[in-house]
Structure 1
Amino acid sequence: MQRQILLRTAAALALVAVAGGIAACKRDEAVAREPTPPRVQVDRVTFQPSETARTFVGVVQPRYETDLGFRVAGKVVERPVNVGDPVRKGDLVARLDTTDLRLQVESTEAELAAATSSLAQAAADERRYAGLRSSGFAAAADYDRKKAARDEAEGRAKRARRSLELARNQLEYGELRASADGVVTAAPVEAGQVVAIGQAVVRVAQTIEREALVALPETWLADAPAASAVVRLWSQDVRPYRASLRELSPQADPATRTYAARFRIEEAGPEAAFGMTATVTLTRQEQVAAAQVPLSAIVNRGAGPHVYVVDPRTETLLERPVTVATFGSRTAAVTDGLSDGETIVTLGVQKLEAGRKVRPLPLR
């Protein structure tokens, strides 16, 4: 009996030992299967005052540029101006063949003469029948017919006068004259060409105001109206011109994703020729602190720019949304979302995810 008890005890101890060995093996396998935290390159966030001024390249353009066209159709017989010629208000820039227009004037003059003669005859008949009616020698119906004939003759004469005025106006429209002082920038029509009503014959740029046209990125869209602007010509970089924002496009260009802005150049004279290269320097009124973050540290999966911050206690990743003021060739200026001194991952962020444990490389 005692021998059986000893055998059972030995068997139980053996089972416990085997079970412990199996559990230890499983723990070793679990440890072996647990992935090693990856090594990541990190950098420390440092906020510094961002740039308050930036220069944009543009071109000098006129404030007003008008396409001049005839108000009547016809054949161009003369165009005394060429591209680059200065013109004064009222100068002749093109002329049509006015033969048909003159004939129209002569025709309406003849119609007016006939209408005037008919009106005189109808008025005389009306006065005569008025006297006969008062004497009792004419019926009232006859007088009414004469009065109606006189009224109709008056309407025809008035219509003839208006037709003559229109014909004379069209004869004047046969000469195209400059509407303001300026310079000819385009002349797409040559003498001998038949033009339609309103077709552009000469383009005149007024010289009273000159502007610099530049393309602004979206990061300067909010600061441009309040920023101070200075314009310099590439041909003479010594003299700066004061400038003010006159027009800012509300829609970005679909190709460049920039916004067209026009800056009026103060006190610009003929030295600022149209088409010259100009640089517009914008200076922000307020200085904003920004951290220069490598572009490789920013990830955007459709919800805006984010960066991965390394928790200094657990060495796990925290996904943090950030506000980017400007994008450079290698870095981006982050103005919000990070704190000074935090550690962020700067390489391989596309393969990481929030909550993952990492092993940061030593800071350089």
Structure 2
Amino acid sequence: MSRSAPILALVSVAVLAVAGCNESQAPAARGEAGRPVLAQRVVAENRHPERRFVGTIRPRVESDLGFRVQGKVARRLVNVGDVVAAGQPLATLDEIDLTLQTEQAEAERRAATVAVAQADADLRRTMTLAGQGWAATSVVDRQKAATEEARSRLMRAERALSLARNAASYAVLSADADGVITATSVEPGQVVAPGQAAIRLARTVEREAVVAVPEALVGRARAGGASVSLWSNPGVRYAARLRELAPAADSATRTYLARFTLPEADGAVQLGMTATVTLTADSAERVVRVPLPALFNQGSGSAVWTVDDAGQLVLRPVTVAAYEAQDALVSDGLQDGERIVRLGVQKLDAGQRVRVVEALDF
């Protein structure tokens, strides 16, 4: 027993020494590995990014054409989808009644012409008699009045004849501009009233994109730029200009109807096509979007921890332009592509070595 006691004491001392060495080496190893942090690379972007909306290509002017006189439709010369030119006949009325009205007006004008000739002759004879003393002044005055009345009736007959001829010409409904037929509401044999919608014509001279804009972007729609691309050819963009914005929101969708004209539209832009309207802001301000937990503030302003490839931390002061629900928009202090710490920023110290366990693109 006396011999084994010193041996056990020496073994115990050796074990404690080895344990002490291991414990002294463990912190060094942990210090070299660094504290694990979650980081991400930031990307600079426009503060007001582009916003896209689905719209429809519509004509700027689409009007309902109708006959200017009453009558029975004799023929309809076009169908929906037909492309027509200005002055092309679209439909006609039965012209029998209109022809009779024109003939009546011509007869009345001939009668009025004869009455004027007779009144002029009577006035000349009366004036001759008055010069010889055989006619009283009152007779001369009455004959002058009769002559003026006859001339007025002739003028009225001529105007009535012009109106009758115009009415006869209105029996043919013609296109008032180049366009395409989008609707027809009359058929042969139907009796129509003056001004009744008969054929709808969409002019193809100017086309526009119609979209519903939410109220939060009404200001951008007014002041910003816009472009339009077709779903059938998304690679081509057409410059657009706001022409009309509804003064009140739709009661159901709470959006504002906006019409963007397409001055550079070509033949590929057809009526009824689906389009994408892109709204851009005039401001070219660039910001970096960082999550709110990445901000560090000890009373001297906002800052973020940046970490390099070697794992070194640097506290970088930043300027926050705006706060959103989950992110902050940094306008100054960060460069595109830098890596920042996302979480646990309040537990870090300057100069501390860290180990990035996950890097996310943002």
Normalising by structure 2, we get a TM-score of: 0.66
Alignment partner of 2:149 out of 146, 149, 152: 152
Post-superposition offset of 1:188: 1.4
Pick the aligned partner of 2:172 from 159, 165, 175: 175
Unaligned runs of 5+ in 2: 1-44, 293-297, 300-321, 330-362
190, 194, 199: which one pairs with 2:196? 199
Matched residue of 1:93: which SS? strand
Alignment partner of 2:96 out of 94, 99, 107: 99
**Counterpart for residue 217 of structure 1:** 214
Distance in 1 between residues matched to 2:217 and 2:204, nearest whole Å: 29
Once the 2 structures are TM-superposed, how far is the Cα of residue 332 of structure 1 from its aligned partner?
8.7
Alpha-carbon distance in 2 for matches of 1:72, 1:293: 71
The C-alpha deviation readout for 1:46-88, integer Å capped at 9, x for no partner, is xx96442110100000111111111111111111111111111
Amino acid paired to 1:185: T
Match of 1:253 in 2: 250
Instruction: Tell me which amino acid in the other structure corresponds to 1:61.
Output: R
User: Structure 1 residue 180: deviation in Å?
Assistant: 0.6
1:228 maps to 2:192:
no
CA RMSD across the alignment: 2.9
Question: CA separation in 1, counterparts of 2:55 and 2:107?
Answer: 60
Could you list the per-position Cα deviations for residues 92-146 of structure 1 after superposition, in whole angstroms to 9, with x for gaps in the alignment? 0010111111100111111111111111111100000001101111111111121
Unaligned runs of 5+ in 1: 1-47, 295-311, 314-323, 336-364
Partner of 2:310: none
In the other structure, the counterpart of 1:86 is 83
Q: Aligned partners of 1:292 and 1:256: how far apart in 2? A: 33
How far off its partner does 1:293 sit? 11
In 1: Cα distance, 2:253 partner to 2:172 partner? 43
Q: How far is the alpha carbon of 1:228 from its aligned partner?
A: 1.6
Distance 1:155 1:292 in 2: 88
Aligned length, in residue pairs: 261
Once the two structures are superposed, residues 179-208 of structure 1 have per-residue CA deviations (whole angstroms, 9 ceiling, x without a partner) of 011111111111111111111111111111
Shift of the alpha carbon at 1:290? 10
Over 3 Å counting, the alpha-carbon distance change for 1:180 and 1:78 in structure 2 is: same
Alignment match, 1:282:
279
SS at match of 2:199: strand
**Residues 290 and 333 in structure 1, CA contact (< 8 A), matched pair in contact too:** no
- TM-score normalised by L of structure 1: 0.66
CA distance in 2, matches of 1:102, 1:265: 46
Within 2, Cα distance between the matches of 1:97 and 1:292? 76
Q: CA deviation at 1:333?
A: 8.8
Identify the residue that residue 63 of structure 1 maps to in structure 2: 60
Identity of aligned residues (%): 51
2:268 to 266, 271, 286: 271
Shift of 1:241: 1.1
**Amino acid of the structure 2 residue aligned with 1:146:** Q
3-state SS in 2 of match to 1:243: strand
